[in-house]
Amino acid sequence: MNTKTGLILILIALNILAVIVGISIGPAKISVKDIFSVLSGNENISEAKTVKDIIFQIRLPRTILAMLVGSSLAVAGCSMQALFRNPLADPYIIGVSSGASVGAATVFLLGIATGINIMAGAFLTAVLTALVVYRIGVVRGRAPVYTLLLAGVAMASFLSGVTSFLIYMAGEDMSKVIFWIMGGFWTASWDKVKIAVLPMIFSLTFVLLNSWNLNAILLGEEHAMSVGIDVEKFKRRIIVSSALLTSSAVAVSGVIGFVGLIIPHMMRIISGADHRILLPASLLFGSAFMPFVDVIARNVIEGELPVGIITAMLGAPFFLYLLRRGRM
Amino acid sequence: MILDIRDLRVKLGSSEILKGVTFRVRDGDMVALLGPNGSGKSTLLRTIFGILRPEAGVVYLDGKKITEMSVTEIAKEIGYLPQETSEPELRVLDVVLLGRTPYMEGLRLPHKSDIELARRALKKVGLDGFENRPFTSLSGGEKQKVFLARVFAQDSKILLFDEPTSHLDISSQIDIMEIIRESVKDRRSALIAIHDINLSASFCNKIMMIKNGRVVHAGTPEEVITPHNIRDVFRADVDVRKHAGRIYLVPKIARSPDKGKRVHIICGGGTGREVIYMLDEMGYTVSAGVLNTLDSDWEAINEIGGEVVAEAPFSPVSPESHEENLKLIEKSDLVILSSIPVGKGNLLNLKAAFKSALQGKLLIVESTPFSERNFYGEEAERIYRQTLELCRWVVRDVKDIRGMLNEILG
């Protein structure tokens, strides 16, 4: 067995562990034994109905949603880092998160803040922002990465101004908007999983199938063209799938930072930059990492902490560590 | 495969970069594209590969228009190494394998034959056994060779290189040009944008000079690389010299103003070159004799346009030439005898030196003892001793002359 297969197997095991931990830890403790007996249809344990409800209606959709979001952010971050050939690139580089925040804040401000409305508002503005950034970035039929990058940065700072304004105007709902922006899975439900799963699986598959072309992009855009890749078309497609992944993730869970930045870096240190292994590894690690962080978020204090706080508090020190190690 | 470029015009924004470029590249050609920064070399290569669309004009590949081909089709026929540098954190073999991309449809899974071709390409650039090394751990020269292997793995007939040797040390530069020349032998052709004129003169069989978006000079290195053309295209003053059948440039050092003094040099067999160039640079009028034509001293005096008395190759100095030599000596303010070997053929030159010593204007350069270069016998030894005694200045090294000249000639 080579190291790549080994890495993937370890990551799969980590995912299984993440599901078990995600289901068993919470205000009501459920033992591993109970999980297995409920999952295997044995309803003879005490309070079988309640345990079943907690597992299937609350913890399982929440864990699955966290896995989807984690893998989407990790893969989107990984492909953005390749496309921009910049270690600082992350899924939000083309303005998706600030766009989503404006959308969500608007929904709160309009007083129509139902779950589905927030989701739709965030998703639409996120996708729209990515589109606008791309349009601005296109110069004479090409989208040079540095203009995209700068367009993204400029757009993000403009939109965060708008968001701050909206938060200021939100009055009583102010804390709700801020809480939403910080990101978390407390509103997870099967409905959210159902809505997010399709664009996510579709985009994840697309990006994974393009691992080879992403490797070519690492050499530079002209190198990639010189081996016969239609770089502009490819870039557009990768940006669209990353925007879809990120917008879906943000729509269902708010703005969870650092995950899309650090997970690809961690996997790159272990597996190298070959996207044929790096992308699946990032996907699997992202999907295992997020439920763990979520477990911390909902157990570390009375009530619940937004996941984004924890990822930032874990992510930033790690980021600095990478910087000092000179791997960036 | 023939690359045929006709009246190519390319605009970037509002400025016209290429203003009608026409040329052909055939199998076996290794063409250097010379020109100052901004003359349009890279633009030309990028247009040929189809990255830029020409405003007018056509690039034909064996009669097929490049604009009607897909990027994959082009990549199978043309290997293009851009100037862009990068540090992909990939294994060396994975970088080379990217060259097989045009042949890998769909999911792009490399076939066994692709891996075999990539390995062979690595071997071709001399990086056997580097397959599993991380690309980032290589030296600059090795990285460029890996990129070359990537291009070779593409197995295309026409190769375009954009400054493949820039930022590399001299041995890597030579390696890279050697590798390209080897690959061209195999029914391929290469077009190389390059700044190093000497390197291109040594390796390429054709040279094209571009200036302001036009090909202004084209032909063999001897035809194209001339001081006139270099001044025309690069605005630089150079001398073009020849060594072992190859030409090379040396920058012209600003010549001192004419000092109005004549120096005659009795030399031969390359013993006088250095003095000839040095005195010319210092602003003296230099003459030499008696030399054999094609002798490297003869080439040097011709190059600076000095007067010279010469015999046919391997012929002895005739009495007539000797007389003429004495006339030049008569006109000169100083005569320099270099460390020439003396034999039957040039004993008269030694006698000419003796005469100048009598006139009190001889300087002898004695870098090797006379006994070691005396192939005539006792008579030569005797004349040399007398000359030495009469002469006023003797130096061991040519460089010592520089400091003495002002004193001698005032």
Summarize the confidence of residues A174-186 as an average pLDDT. Answer: 88
Q: Name which of A225, A227, A268 is nearest B99 (Cβ-Cβ).
A: A227
User: How many angstroms away from the CA of B218 is the closest CA of chain A?
Assistant: 27
Chains A, B: CB pairs < 8 Å:
84
Interchain contact, A273 vs B90, CB within 8 Å:
yes
Q: Which of B89, B97, B138, B150 is the best mutation test for A, with the most CBs of A within 10 A?
A: B89
User: How many angstroms away from the CA of A303 is the closest CA of chain B?
Assistant: 44
State residue B319's pLDDT score.
93
State residue B178's pLDDT score.
95
CA distance B74 to B156: 9
State residue A42's pLDDT score.
66
Q: What domains are there in chain B, each with its CATH number?
A: 3-245 (3.40.50.300), 262-409 (3.40.1190.20)
Q: What are the tokens at A221? A: 């855009």
Summarize the confidence of residues A62-66 as an average pLDDT. Answer: 95
Q: Beginning with the edge strand found earlier in the chain, give each strand of the sheet holding B262-266 in spatial order.
A: B307-311, B285-292, B262-266, B334-337, B362-365, B393-395
If pLDDT is split at 50, 70 and 90, which confidence band does B126 have?
Answer: very high
pLDDT over 90, % of chain A: 60
What is the ipTM metric for this complex? 0.88
Q: Assign B337 to helix, strand or coil.
A: strand
The pTM of the full predicted model, rounded to 2 decimals, is 0.81
- Whether the pLDDT of residue A81 is over 90: the answer is yes
Q: What domains are there in chain A, each with its CATH number?
A: 3-9+24-325 (1.10.3470.10)
- Whether the pLDDT of residue A1 is over 60: the answer is no
Q: How many residues does chain B have?
A: 410
Q: Which residues of A touch B153 (CB under 8 A)?
A: none
- Whether the pLDDT of residue A140 is over 90: the answer is no
Q: Which residues of A touch B71 (CB under 8 A)?
A: 225, 228-230
Q: Assign B53 to helix, strand or coil.
A: coil
Residues of chain B contacting A, Cβ within 8 Å: 13, 46, 49, 51, 70-76, 79-82, 84-86, 88-91, 94-95, 98-99, 101-102, 104, 107-108, 134, 147, 150-151, 154
| Burial (0-12, 13-18, 19+ Cβ within 10 Å), A309 | middle
State residue B121's pLDDT score.
95
State residue A328's pLDDT score.
45
Q: Which of A83, A146, A227 is the best mutation test for B, with the most CBs of B within 10 A?
A: A227
- Contact call for residues A297 and A305 (beta carbons, < 8 A): yes
Interchain contact, A216 vs B94, CB within 8 Å:
no
For the stretch B319-368, pLDDT in tens is 999 999 999 999 999 999 999 999 999 999 999 999 999 999 999 999 89
User: How many angstroms away from the CA of A268 is the closest CA of chain B?
Assistant: 9
- Contact call for residues A241 and A61 (beta carbons, < 8 A): no
Residues of chain A contacting B, Cβ within 8 Å: 85, 140, 209, 212-213, 215-216, 218-223, 225-230, 268, 272-274
Q: Which residues of B touch A2 (CB under 8 A)?
A: none
For the stretch B75-119, pLDDT in tens is 999 999 999 888 899 999 999 999 999 999 888 889 999 999 999
- Contact call for residues A78 and A282 (beta carbons, < 8 A): yes
Q: What are the tokens at A317? A: 């020190």
Interchain contact, A85 vs B86, CB within 8 Å:
yes
For the stretch B25-59, pLDDT in tens is 999 999 999 999 989 999 999 999 999 999 999 99
CA distance B347 to B266: 12
CB count within 10 Å of CB B389 equals 8
If pLDDT is split at 50, 70 and 90, which confidence band does A46 have?
Answer: low
- Cα torsion for A134, A152, A286, A221, to the nearest 10°? 60
For the stretch A82-100, pLDDT in tens is 999 888 899 999 999 999 9
Q: What are phi and psi of B87, to 5 degrees?
A: -125, 65
Q: Which of B108, B147, B160 is the best mutation test for A, with the most CBs of A within 10 A?
A: B108
Which DSSP string corresponds to A193-249?
Answer: HHHHHHHHHHHHHHHHHTHHHHHHHHT-HHHHHHTT--HHHHHHHHHHHHHHHHHHH
Give the residue among B169, B181, B172, B171 at the shortest CA–CA distance from B146. Answer: B172
- Contact call for residues B133 and B90 (beta carbons, < 8 A): no
Distances (CA, A) of A204 to A79, A151, A222, A224, B129: 10, 25, 26, 22, 36
Residues 6+ away with beta carbon under 8 Å from A317? none
Q: What are the tokens at A166? A: 């909206």
If pLDDT is split at 50, 70 and 90, which confidence band does A43 have?
Answer: low
- Whether the pLDDT of residue A45 is over 80: the answer is no
CA distance B195 to B211: 13
- Name the least confident of A72-86, A290-304, B185-199: A290-304
Give the count of alpha carbons within 13 A of B14, CB side only: 0
Q: Name which of B46, B70, B90 is nearest A272 (Cβ-Cβ).
A: B90
Q: Is the Cα dihedral A28, A31, A33, A35 positive or negative?
A: positive
CA distance B40 to B298: 40
> Quick one: chain A helix, strand, coil %, rounded to 5?
80, 0, 20
Give the residue among A91, A221, A51 at the shortest CA–CA distance from B80. Answer: A221
- Whether the pLDDT of residue B274 is over 60: the answer is yes
Chain A residue with minimum CA distance to B86: A219
| Burial (0-12, 13-18, 19+ Cβ within 10 Å), B393 | middle
b/e code B99-138 from CB counts within 10 Å (16+ = b): bbbbbbeeebebeeebbebbbebbebbebeebbeeebeeb
State residue A35's pLDDT score.
77
- Contact call for residues A15 and A67 (beta carbons, < 8 A): yes
pLDDT averaged over every residue in chain A: 89
Instruction: Note the Cα B59 to chain centre separation in Å.
Output: 30
Summarize the confidence of residues B267-278 as an average pLDDT. Answer: 90
Higher pLDDT, A158 or A29: A158
Q: Is the Cα dihedral B279, B280, B281, B282 positive or negative?
A: positive
Interchain contact, B88 vs A219, CB within 8 Å:
yes
pLDDT over 70, % of chain A: 95
Q: Which residues of A touch B75 (CB under 8 A)?
A: 226-228
pLDDT over 70, % of chain B: 100
User: How many angstroms away from the CA of B151 is the closest CA of chain A?
Assistant: 8
Using alpha carbons only, what angle is made at residue B351 by residues B388 and B278, rounded to the nearest 5 degrees?
A: 70
Interchain contact, B75 vs A219, CB within 8 Å:
no
Chain A residue with minimum CA distance to B79: A226
Containing B160, the helix (H) or strand (E) segment is strand B158-162
Interchain contact, A272 vs B51, CB within 8 Å:
no
Q: Which residue has 């009246």 as its token pair?
A: B7
Chain B residue with minimum CA distance to A82: B88
Containing B22, the helix (H) or strand (E) segment is strand B15-25
CA distance B199 to B176: 11
Interchain contact, A228 vs B72, CB within 8 Å:
yes
- Whether the pLDDT of residue B135 is over 60: the answer is yes
Residues 6+ away with beta carbon under 8 Å from A182? A254, A255, A306, A307, A308, A309
Q: What are the tokens at B164? A: 């493949």
- Residues paired with residue B257 on neighbouring β-strands, in sequence order: none
Q: Which residues of B touch A223 (CB under 8 A)?
A: 82, 84, 86, 98, 147, 150
Q: Name which of B13, B49, B98 is nearest A219 (Cβ-Cβ).
A: B98
Q: Is the Cα dihedral B46, B48, B52, B55 positive or negative?
A: positive
- Cα torsion for B162, B165, B167, B169, to the nearest 10°? 180
- Residues paired with residue B288 on neighbouring β-strands, in sequence order: B265, B308
Interchain contact, B49 vs A225, CB within 8 Å:
yes
